Amino acid sequence: MSWDFSTDPELQLQLDWTRRYVDEVILPLEVAGEGLNQRQLDALWQPCKDEVKARGFWAPHLPPEHGGGGKGQMALALIHEILGRSVLAPEIFGCQAPDSGNAELLAVGATPAQRERWLYPLLAGTVRSTFALTEPHNSGSDPTGITTRCVRDGDDWVIDGHKWFASNASVSDFMIVMAVTNPEAAPHRRAAMLVVPCRHPGVRLLRDVGTMHHPEAVAEGALMDRIGGHTEILFENCRVPLDHMIGQPGEGFVLAQKRLGGGRIHHAMRCIGQANRAFEMLLERAVSRSTRGKPLGQQQLVQDMIAESCAELEMARLLVLRAAWTIDREGAHGHAARRDIALVKFVVPRTLLAIVDRAIQVHGALGYTTDMPLEEMYRMARALRIADGADEVHKQTVARELLAGRQPVAEPTDYLPSLRRRARELFGARVAQIRQGVR
């Protein structure tokens, strides 16, 4: 019997410390940074990053040979559950998106010289990075349709194209750009990945796009000057040396898969952390506010919200942990892992949205105000039904995995007339005897 819901005592110590640190230090730190620009924020955050490094808890997503904790997906899921309570905590622990995914990509795809130049500074937290795949005029759900081009000219790659939602590009040092090297090749062999400095001739950062999260950033030329923006970028005759390509021409999609390996569920577990925090607010409010002579928590409709939230949260959490367990056992690319990852991707954001929504409801007008973090949590959570791949795409993956290998049948396996025939063959005589002998 090897199913086990307990946590290794050594990891539990790390989780306990992390939980205290997030709640007591990072949540106030998040608020302390309101209104500061990125350079000011970096100065504010650095002592906390140093403390996390000194504890040995920095970059838990990477194996020890690349300077990380390397404890596997199950441990990471539990760590991310705690970090998810604060949007800032992953940054302070050196495992924030998109840097974490980019580091995973560079760790598997970069040459030693490229690692030296881009991976190690990224791991040390001295630079920031961006991932630029999505384009405004092509469906991000089918990235084989991107049109940003990359053509070799002498000792350079020349990039031309239009990207958007390149998160953090306005404050990053470099970006990993997906561009088509051979439009005639098979769809998954068309593109490559290149490292491009964010401030570079031929790179035009048009704006950080206004979103539900940051509606204020809309005008051309408006850049947020802090992480959290989603940048629209034009590449116009942008030249980078040949050694800026990660892997070979045509290997972009293979590398993209690697980039999205284990890291695919960290987002999900962070959402569980956010949902936990919203649920705690809901519970606190339920015992603190009274109406018609009794606390909200004694009103049956509020009790329904509490019970539904608890059930949904536990189900989603177990689903993420099962996905982590599957990845640890068989890697991120097996059938079972692919199914579990895709399940998690659409179940968790909707669970988070539902719980934050109920927490807002139970807080009444206060929940709708910017005096509580709930309205921002709601706006951010909405993005996750799109940002990490649209729900519909993940549902398609689940269905495809479940249908793979199934053969059509002439008659349903559970067709009752046939089952009765089989029952008569197996048990007919015994049933007849019983009918006669047992009254």
| Contacts to ligand FAD by CB under 6 A | 98, 131-134, 139-141, 165-167, 230, 383, 386-387, 389-390, 392-393, 396
Identity of the residue, 134 or 276, whose beta carbon is nearer to ligand FAD in the bound complex: 134
Identity of the residue, 259 or 358, whose beta carbon is nearer to ligand FAD in the bound complex: 259
Shortest Cβ 380–ligand FAD spacing (Å): 8
Nearest CA to 103 among 302, 238, 261, 340? Answer: 261
CB atoms within 10 A of CB 428: 11
- 256 in Cβ contact with 240 (< 8 Å): no
- Phi, psi (5° rounding) for residue 113? -65, -40
3-state secondary structure of 27: helix
Shortest Cβ 38–ligand FAD spacing (Å): 17
Shortest Cβ 243–ligand FAD spacing (Å): 23
Helix (H) or strand (E) holding 180: strand 174-180
Strands 174-180, 129-132: parallel, antiparallel or unpaired by DSSP?
A: parallel
Helix (H) or strand (E) holding 335: helix 335-363
Nearest position to ligand FAD, beta carbon: 140
Identity of the residue, 100 or 167, whose beta carbon is nearer to ligand FAD in the bound complex: 167
Shortest Cβ 95–ligand FAD spacing (Å): 16
- 156 in Cβ contact with 242 (< 8 Å): yes
Shortest Cβ 141–ligand FAD spacing (Å): 3
The Cα–Cα gap between 336 and 149 comes to 35
Written as one letter, the residue type at 200 is: H
Identity of the residue, 67 or 161, whose beta carbon is nearer to ligand FAD in the bound complex: 161
Identity of the residue, 134 or 309, whose beta carbon is nearer to ligand FAD in the bound complex: 134
Identity of the residue, 36 or 387, whose beta carbon is nearer to ligand FAD in the bound complex: 387
Shortest Cβ 151–ligand FAD spacing (Å): 21
Q: Helices 266-288 and 335-363 sit at what angle, rounded to 10 degrees?
A: 20
Identity of the residue, 225 or 391, whose beta carbon is nearer to ligand FAD in the bound complex: 391
Shortest Cβ 393–ligand FAD spacing (Å): 5
Whose tokens are 């509490």? That residue is 306
- 105 in Cβ contact with 242 (< 8 Å): no
